[in-house]
Amino acid sequence: MTVPTSTGNKSLLVLGDSLSAAYGLDIHQGWVSLLQNQYPQLNVVNASISGETTSGGKQRLTSLLEKHKPDIMILELGANDALRGQDLNVSQANLQQMIEACPLFNQACKVILLGVQLPTNYGPAYDALFQKMYKKLAEKNSLLFDPFFLEPVALDPDLMQWDGLHPNSEAQPVILERVAPLVERAVKNLEAN
């Protein structure tokens, strides 16, 4: 599958945490760099930072939006909030504000929301709330959404780093394969408007 070349230079901003910042890898091995390679007609800006929370992302977002005015924003935050046991109502409010911010800088902006799941030691009740948070945001805002974008790699030890939390270099093309259809749909939606 390829994005039509008639799109011109559309800007895509990725705001994420270590899962998008290629933690433990050369940055060029990460799925975001691979996305840029696969779609050279997109200007991909990776503003992901390892350890980033929704509050940190929210604080940085305005200046990123002012600078890049993205046509597409991939929002991949929330895991670090949950790993710290933070109030998920606050996390959800932060994500909602970020979703609402993008169209203020570029009215055409399409937001893609990437969700994750927590390790089992956080308990089923908290994880259920965490999953519900992403689902609510996606439904409320009619977003392109993947509830668990690491699903194809997360349970395969051969595709994970030693910590069991971060995908290794072999996993990155698999993650891109999972995310790419959402990016393609976002581009098609832009062209339709």
Structural domain contains residue 18:
yes
pLDDT by residue (tens digit) across 98-155? Answer: 999 999 999 999 999 999 988 777 778 888 999 999 999 999 999 999 999 999 999 9
Task: Judge whether residue 89 has pLDDT over 70.
Answer: yes
Structural domain contains residue 71:
yes
Q: Write down the pLDDT at residue 2.
A: 38
Q: Write down the pLDDT at residue 7.
A: 42
pLDDT by residue (tens digit) across 34-61? Answer: 999 999 999 999 999 999 999 999 999 9
Quote the tokens at residue 59.
Answer: 């604080």
Task: Report the domain count for the chain.
Answer: 1
Four-point Cα dihedral 129, 135, 140, 144, nearest 10: 150
Structural domain contains residue 2:
no
In Å, how far are 38, 74, 145 from 165, measured between CA atoms? 26, 20, 21
Which are the catalytic amino acids?
A: 18, 163, 166
Q: What is the CATH number of the domain that holds 128?
A: 3.40.50.1110
Q: Write down the pLDDT at residue 84.
A: 92
Task: Judge whether residue 6 has pLDDT over 70.
Answer: no
Q: How confident is the model at residue 8 (pLDDT cuts 50, 70, 90)?
A: low
Task: Judge whether residue 188 has pLDDT over 80.
Answer: yes
Task: Judge whether residue 10 has pLDDT over 90.
Answer: yes
Quote the tokens at residue 48.
Answer: 């992901």
Q: Write down the pLDDT at residue 121.
A: 74
Structural domain contains residue 70:
yes
pLDDT by residue (tens digit) across 142-167? Answer: 999 999 999 999 999 999 999 999 99
Q: Write down the pLDDT at residue 124.
A: 85
Mean pLDDT of the chain: 93
Structural domain contains residue 15:
yes
Percentage, residues of the chain above pLDDT 90: 85
Single pTM value for the model: 0.94
Structural domain contains residue 156:
yes
Structural domain contains residue 88:
yes
Task: Judge whether residue 176 has pLDDT over 70.
Answer: yes
Structural domain contains residue 114:
yes
Q: Write down the pLDDT at residue 91.
A: 98
Can you give the residue range of the structural domain that contains 186?
8-192
User: Read out DSSP for 134-192?
Assistant: HHHHHHHHT-EEETTTTHHHHT-GGGB-TTSSSB-GGGHHHHHHHHHHHHHHHHHHHHH
